[in-house]
Amino acid sequence: METNKKVIFSGIQPSGALHLGNYLGALRNWVALQDEYNCVYCVVDEHAITVRQDPAALRRQTLELFAQLVACGIDPEKSILFIQSHVPAHAELAWVLNCYTMFGELSRMTQFKDKSAKHADNVNAGLFTYPSLMAADIMLYQADLVPVGEDQKQHVELTRNIVQRFNGIYGDVFTMPDAYIPKVGARVMSLNQPDSKMSKSIPEGCVYLMDSPDEIMRKFKRAITDSDTERCVRYDRANKPGVATLIDIYAAVTGKSYEQIEEEFAGKGYGAFKPAVGEAVVELLRPLREEATRLLADKAYLEGLYRAGAEKAASIAQRTLRKVHKKVGFLPR
């Protein structure tokens, strides 16, 4: 990694297919950050098993996600891209950090409360302590910045507390990370429930990166608009949330302003607007889908990429882990 650049770490769970919201809201930013920062990107499969997974599905989803990240523009030559379970230092550091993370801090994590309610039959210890693993992910690479949405800021704050606590005892071991809120990150809402974020839990309103052009067009043609009599393309999130969602997507895909979009479709109505948004999304996702399909057809090449990524990640992670082990008093290996 270049010494004059700050380090960014971000991870994504292989919990299902990537969708348009993931791409416009986060992944497009990940790609843009590669030239300005030393980027470390990770498929966090160890985080995924806090919820019961089908093993074959998890393996398939992990490989598909890795391929899709490359197809979206994460360049393994520019960034370190790897699979979390392939670098044992993540789990090793997480155990040490468990011993420097307070029970009360973990109890206050809102995601633990949310997931405990959703998975009441499986409130396991990993679900409770996974913020320590998340802290290990960040701290292993001495990350300066962590791109997060509002729902993850609490985890970065916890990581900062752990860094401060550990450094306070042992000296300057870890870099203090900051949450990085991307300058541009579209918040993409569901096509059929425009008051909810686009999510695989609402499949009919969710456009996946690997959807066929016909499937994408079908979803946009069936997208919710509104029932007012004027049926004009006008941005009004409060009163026309369905139309606002389509305008948001069209703006994010084309780079046009709301005013330009309203002018473009003045007098044309929803019958012209919905297919236009669909076609713009089809053309945005076409090269990504084709490249991901090509990559997934060459398993040996993909394996070479994720092995090389894990080796690069492990060389940095082991350096941090050796320092930590020495500080806490473990005999050298």
Instruction: Name the residues annotated as catalytic.
Output: 115, 197, 200
Q: Is 207 exposed, middle or buried (0-12, 13-18, 19+ CB in 10 A)?
A: buried
CB count in 10 Å sphere of residue 283: 13
Handedness of CA 305, 306, 311, 314 (dihedral sign): positive
3-state percent helix, strand, coil for the chain, nearest multiple of 5: 55, 10, 35
Report the SS3 class of residue 39.
strand
Question: Rounded to an integer, what distance in angstroms lies between the CA atom of residue 135 and that of residue 149?
Answer: 16
In the block, which residue shows the tokens 């420097």? 100
Alpha helix locations (H) across 49-118?
55-72, 89-98, 103-107, 110-118
Give the C-alpha separation, 244 to 250, whole Å.
10
Rounded to 5 degrees, what are φ and ψ at 81? Answer: -125, 125
Q: Are 288 and 15 in contact (CB under 8 A)?
A: no
Task: For residue 307, give both structure tokens.
Answer: 């092995």
Distance, in Å, from the CA atom of 165 to the CA atom of 215, rounded to the nearest integer, reads 51
DSSP state of 24: I
Residue (of 7, 288, 307) closest to 140 by Cα position = 7
Output the CA torsion sign for 220, 221, 222, 223: positive
208 beta partners: 19
Q: In what order do the strands lie in the sheet with 7-12?
A: 80-83, 38-43, 7-12, 145-147, 178-180
